[in-house]
Amino acid sequence: MIAGIGVDLLDINRVSTLYDRYDTRFVTHLLTDRERVEFESTARKVHYLATRFSGKEAISQSTWHGAQGANDAARCEHIK
């Protein structure tokens, strides 16, 4: 059942700041092993991180986990 529909906006500068500040720690926390391999080969690293962050946040919100599952991001994977 769909309880609601919403739109989330993400300021890519916030993701850039996190990446600059935490580098590998942020990447490891956010991405799965397969995503990290893809991340290493992309030229637009901040854009890649922002899209993954947004998608994983949306999944987290829709499953009512929110901030409760702090390490769930690295267990959720985007598949092309």
Domain presence at residue 2? no
3-state SS assignment for residue 14: helix
> Which three-class secondary structure state does DSSP give residue 53?
helix
Residue 46 lies in a domain: yes
Question: Considering the domain boundaries, does residue 67 fall inside one?
Answer: yes
The reported pTM is 0.81
For the segment 4-16, what is each residue's pLDDT rounded down to a tens digit? 777 878 999 999 9
- Name the domain count of the chain: 1
Chain segment 12-71, per-residue pLDDT in tens: 999 999 999 999 999 999 999 999 999 999 999 999 999 999 988 888 777 766 555 555
Please tell me the distance from the alpha carbon of residue 41 to that of residue 25, in angstroms, as a whole number: 18
Domain, as residue range, for 19 = 12-75
For residue 79, the one-letter residue type is I
CB-based burial of residue 37 (10 Å sphere; 0-12 exposed, 13-18 middle, 19+ buried)? exposed
CB 12 within 8 A of CB 50: yes
| Residue 59: inside a domain | yes
In a domain, 4, yes or no: no
